[in-house]
Chains A and B, each alone.
Chain A
Amino acid sequence: MPQGSRSREDPISSSGCQAVAALRRIGSAPSQFIIVMTTEILSGMRESATFDRHVIHEIQRAAETGLYDIRGWGSKRRLPHFDDLVFLGASMSRYPLEGYRESCGTDVLIGALHAKRPIPLQIPITVAGMSFGALSAEAKESLGRGASEMGTSTTTGDGGMTAEERQSSKILIYQYLPSRYGMNPDDLRKADAIEIVLGQGAKPGGGGMLLGRKISDRVAEMRTLPPGIDQRSACRHPDWTGPDDLAIKIEELREITDWEKPIYVKIGASRTYFDVKLAVKAGADVIVVDGMQGGTGATQEVFIEHVGIPTLPALRQAVEALTEMGMHRKVQLIISGGIRSGADVAKALAMGADAVSIGTAALIALGCNSPKYQEEYQKLGTAAGFYDDYQDGNDPAGISTQDPLLTKRLDPVIGGRRLANYLRVLTMEAQTIARACGKSHVLNLEPEDLVALTVEAAAMAKVPLAGTTWIPGCA
């Protein structure tokens, strides 16, 4: 309890309106949290904006353990995002389409520039690369089932392709990562596309991380490493450096697969404008840009929160780069990092993306952070809605774990259905917005349909501040 001259009134025994309102807002949060919140409201205590509770906790934790914090999830700080944009629905000068009556297409063809077998997606929402190792086999299968039901793709991760994943995913993108764990030409030929990974939004410039507690015998064997060791994957590719080498690497991968597979290049958002231009020049069919809100299975907190740029400016820079090269819509752009709703999908497409990719949201759809496991989250020192310790492998929902007792909690059939439901909602929401803007296909959404609610978002997305014609940074 706080000391000093402030109120000593017991916050829980108070029947004040503020306390009641606070308790209602907090809902099912842990009791300690409720006590702190209500004490704060009633006592007049002032939290430091510079040294807030999280900062204080981090300093204390660092002093105690001598280790930096490693966690899953993406950036948790408030960032300019799609929430800061709104659509200008049709009215006098534009006319809308009838919901449920007039069609609004959602299909998109990916990778037709060089590949003999481009990928037709039924919806412009794909599932991002997440490894077997970071996720359970059941979670990977669930993702495959859900995505396949909706006619879209899933993506392997650091650690190779499992047979279950290939079987459950009708369209499977095979990641080609710096570690090359489990990389083999047979799986390369089985894949529908190849994604060369240079980085991810949570940690541009960093390699994968999988702590020993998640390295089961099967995971270890697939990665050709001893079980139980902390795996820190390479952060750069072992046999090429820079865009000129990348062009030759792409040539090799195309030769090995007889020019059938689309080649994606995935970059973590940082110098996005230049990276996109270089990737296109190197011969990519598809560019995947992952903003800093993009999730991770395990990364240092300092990396997640302080390296990379948000999805919003990265998307705009990528579209600019493609447009200047005359390659917009020829080389497809997939954007990820904080896509949660059909509104986010629609805004990303309106800004110029050809598709989006979801990771964290897909795991939540499967059951990650479900209130069903509230008691178990509390035992782990967290709560439903806050759980991000994917690195520990104790996920009560059985998703980011290799513990067989936990993984069996996730039924891949049910998980697949949940993901398909979620993808269906995202798609219908995006269609709703597209129709309201008078578009007969979601890809017909355009920047002209958007305005920004904040100066920052207006500058980053290069759309006018609502009610003005002003785009900061533009004449």
Chain B
Amino acid sequence: MFTQTVDLAKTSVRTLNQRLHDLNAERDEERWRILNPRGAHAIACGLRVQVTVEIEGHAGYYCAGMNQKATVIVHGNVATGVAENMMSGIVHVNGNASQCAGATAHGGLLAVEGDASARCGISMKGIDIVVKGSVGHMSAFMAQTGNLVVCGDAGDAFGDSVYEARLFVRGRVNSLGTDCIEKEMRREHFEILETLLKRAGCDVHPEEFKRYGSARRLYHFQIDNASLY
């Protein structure tokens, strides 16, 4: 099943990443298995071909950072910034994710089976994020575009200063951040949600979600011009 197995107890992350970076488009259907990650940082970051990488254990910071095209599956938990600035591809975390999951990412799909911590989707720029559990405080802070789907609950200041990102929450939102409001679920939103839930393997109904987004009150500085009164 796996074309390559790399044991990080014997091989450095540097060597692993270099070998993955050296893959060219002709060998892009390979399936790699990474053993003993032991929380190492920057595992499988900067990938740019359609390789599949399965990590058997917990990964540290910035796992699959800036991913392009690759599919990275983590059979464990991940630390801060999983799939940060991802451009395309899929990152699937079978455990929980720490802070800043999918931060600033421009594309691709990040699916988290468990919970994601604070600032999930911070400054997201087009990524789709599906969290089957709950997300922590300040999630979707300054989220620019893309979709964040939370099947559980959202923590405090959800969607603070959000721009054009669509935020869907099935459970309770502890509090909404500045300029974030609940919005109407229209047909196109149900369609987007249904597609994303299906892609992430979530067996819940779009009708159970509420949508949140920007009130767009922060888009321009407020001018209080006294001479006009």
Contact = CB atoms under 8 A, between A and B. Distances in A.
A185 B17 CA distance: 14
A256 B44 CA distance: 9
Contacts of A212: 219-220
Q: Report whether over half of chain B's contact residues are helix, strand or loop; otherwise say mixed.
A: loop
B34 interface: no
Contacts of A64: 225-227
A180 interface: yes
Nearest to B102: A239
Contact of A255 (B45, B48, B219): B45
Contacts of A239: 62, 80-81, 84, 99-100, 103-104, 119, 122
A184 B142 CA distance: 18
B85 A184 contact: yes
Interface in A175-219: 179-180, 183-186, 188, 211-212
B163 interface: yes
Contacts of B227: 64
A67 interface: yes
A239 B123 CA distance: 10
Nearest to A68: B221
B45 A234 contact: no
Contacts of B141: 238
A86 interface: no
B223 A67 contact: yes
Contacts of B80: 239-240, 245
Contacts of B68: 185-186
Contacts of A183: 85, 104
B223 A240 contact: no
A445 to B, nearest CB: 39
Contact of B219 (A226, A238, A251): A226
B73 interface: no
B45 A256 contact: yes
Interface in B27-69: 41-42, 45-46, 48, 60-62, 65-66, 68
Interface string B106-133: 1000000000000100110110000000
A63 interface: yes
Interface in A383-423: none
A28 interface: no
Interface string A219-258: 0000011100110001000111000010011011001111
Contacts of B220: 212, 229-230
A217 to B, nearest CB: 15
B65 A184 contact: no
Given A67-B224, A224-B144, A255-B17, 20 more contacts: A64-B225, A64-B226, A64-B227, A183-B85, A188-B66, A212-B219, A225-B144, A234-B123, A238-B123, A239-B62, A239-B81, A239-B84, A239-B99, A239-B104, A245-B80, A248-B62, A252-B41, A258-B17, A258-B18, A259-B14
21 contacts: A64-B225, A66-B223, A66-B226, A183-B104, A184-B87, A185-B46, A185-B66, A224-B125, A226-B164, A229-B219, A229-B220, A230-B221, A234-B123, A238-B100, A238-B122, A239-B80, A239-B100, A245-B61, A252-B81, A255-B13, A255-B14
